[in-house]
Amino acid sequence: MRAKDVRERKGDDEPLTMLTAYDAPTAEVLEAAGVDLLLVGDSVGNLRLGYDSTLPVTVDQIASHTAAVARATDEAMVIADMPFLSFGADPDEAVEHAGRMLKEAEADAVKIESGPHTVELTERLTQLGIPVQAHLGLTPQHENETGLFRQGTDESAAKQILDLAHKHERAGAFSLVLEHVPANVAAQVTESISIPTIGIGAGPDCDGQVLTIDEVIGLSESVAPFSKAFGDVRGEMRSAAEAYIDAVGSGEFPADDHSHYEDDVDDIY
């Protein structure tokens, strides 16, 4: 799926579905399930790499996880999340980092946690042929400034999100993630712009929805109030590991079926 295909889904009866993916087998399963967009989110930091936040995640780490996801997919759009400080300081460096995601990791697009400082960058990347998904509302890379709380909850904050949505639309963003904003704010942003909105904790009226895969499959220890576990992979993983430990302990595994013997190597000492 390319940026133009995503744009064409604006207002479609069938909402866009986006999930995070950080590795090849997960990407393969999610594509087979029919997910439209795979986001290699910087949430890999806290969900998979053991960090307390997304801030330590590096360009190399996102490039490596993105390449794994891209190798495993044909149809789904692969979006690389630009990590903290990989953009926003030096515009040329930001172009280089975003370019690496397409050239080296074979992403189809990048996502940028957006604000007033990313409008020009969005325009430049789009002109260069690097599709940009903007991200407004709660932007966890700003957690030291804003905390991880609801955004756009008063009139002036909501108007700022609306204004930034329009600025990024004009700059060429092909879609917009809206995170943890009131559903009525997301509905108005969605109605007033021409690019698809993809909500997370932003109510039912966006053009699509995104969640982290760890929450959806029930792998993470906890689930955000606006998210939902649709499976119990954590429980399955633990019971498989316990069954393995029991089977090794009891001698039930490995059985003859799992072993092989060769006549010529019976007497080696």
Q: Are 201 and 215 in contact (CB under 8 A)?
A: no
SS3 of residue 129 by DSSP: coil
Tell me which of 19, 27, 31, 43 binds ligand KIV, using CB under 6 A.
43
> Could you tell me the smallest distance in angstroms from the CB atom of residue 113 to ligand KIV?
7
By CB under 6 A, is residue 20 in contact with ligand KIV? yes
Nearer to ligand KIV, 180 or 240 (CB): 180
d(CA 221, CA 211): 15
By CB under 6 A, is residue 200 in contact with ligand KIV? yes
Q: Residue 120 catalytic?
A: no
Out of 8, 179, 191, 262, pick the active-site residue.
179
What torsion, rounded to 10 degrees, do the Cα atoms 59, 40, 110, 43 define?
-70
Q: Which of 48, 108, 50, 113 is nearest to 86 (CA)?
A: 113
Q: Which stretch binds ligand KIV (CB under 6 A): 35-43, 64-72, 242-250, 256-264?
A: 35-43
d(CA 21, CA 19): 6
Per-residue contact string for residues 83-122; x = within reach of ligand KIV by CB under 6 A:
----------------------------------------
Helix spans in 72-219 (H):
91-103, 119-128, 143-146, 155-171, 183-192, 213-216
d(CA 28, CA 39): 13
Nearer to ligand KIV, 40 or 119 (CB): 40
Tell me which of 78, 101, 177, 185 binds ligand KIV, using CB under 6 A.
177
Q: Are 25 and 73 in contact (CB under 8 A)?
A: no
Enumerate residues 212-241 that contact ligand KIV by CB under 6 A.
212
Residues carrying an active site annotation = 179
Annotated binding site for 3-methyl-2-oxobutanoate: 42-43, 81, 111
Q: What is the contact surface with ligand KIV in residues (CB under 6 A)?
A: 20, 39, 41-43, 81, 177, 179, 200, 210, 212
